[in-house]
Amino acid sequence: MKLNKSKRINDIKTLLSKWGFSKQGLFNNSKGEWYLFTQIFLILLHLIPPYPKINHIAFSINTFCIIFGLAISILGLFIVIKAFIDLGENLTPLPYPMNESSLIKNNSYQNVRHPLYQGLLFISLGISIFSLSLIHLSLLISLSYILKIKALKEEEILKMKFPEYKKYIKEVPAIIKKIKYLDWRS
């Protein structure tokens, strides 16, 4: 039993190291660790109750918001799952690609450069709509800000590692097409 636990801990350490995590990076954000932790924190904050609580809203409007919000969140969840699958072994939570990674430009990544971030924003938007919460709306805005910073950092490294990424940036929207803040094609 003790040997099994030790092996699992070593497996986790190996995976974190493969992804680029280090003790030093936790203190100086060398690989974007702080962006990841902020992203996780903002996602977890979506679990708080809505505020302000709206009690006197017409049943039909409330029902529409619940159904529409859930539909957007479910769409976002499907986008996230598909993007995870499409990345495969290239998946890392940090904005720095792994050394042995390859550039993925097909499937989820042929229509948008950051489908994981797009899916997360759709989930957050859906939660904001079905909860009718100003707090959740502010979380959506904060999450879009941190995901944009993380994506820009990731793209700096991808341009250096993969010369063809510069062409890909010009042709494919970043996160959400036609929203200038989330599509910074050059």
Residue range 106-149, pLDDT digits in tens: 999 999 999 999 999 999 999 999 999 999 999 999 999 999 99
Place of tokens 């993007």: 83
pTM > 0.95: yes or no: no
Q: Is the pLDDT of residue 54 over 80?
A: no
- Dist CA 150 CA 156 (whole Å): 10
DSSP-based three-state secondary structure for 173 = coil
Assigned architecture for domain 59-186: Up-down Bundle (1.20)
Q: Is 41 helix (H, G, I), strand (E, B) or coil?
A: helix
User: Mean of the per-residue pLDDT values for the chain?
Assistant: 89
**pLDDT tens digits along 82-91:** 999 999 988 8
Distant-in-sequence, close-in-space partners of 125: CB < 8 Å, separation ≥ 6: 69, 72, 73, 76, 140
Q: What is the number of alpha carbons within 13 Å of residue 165 lying toward its C-beta?
A: 18
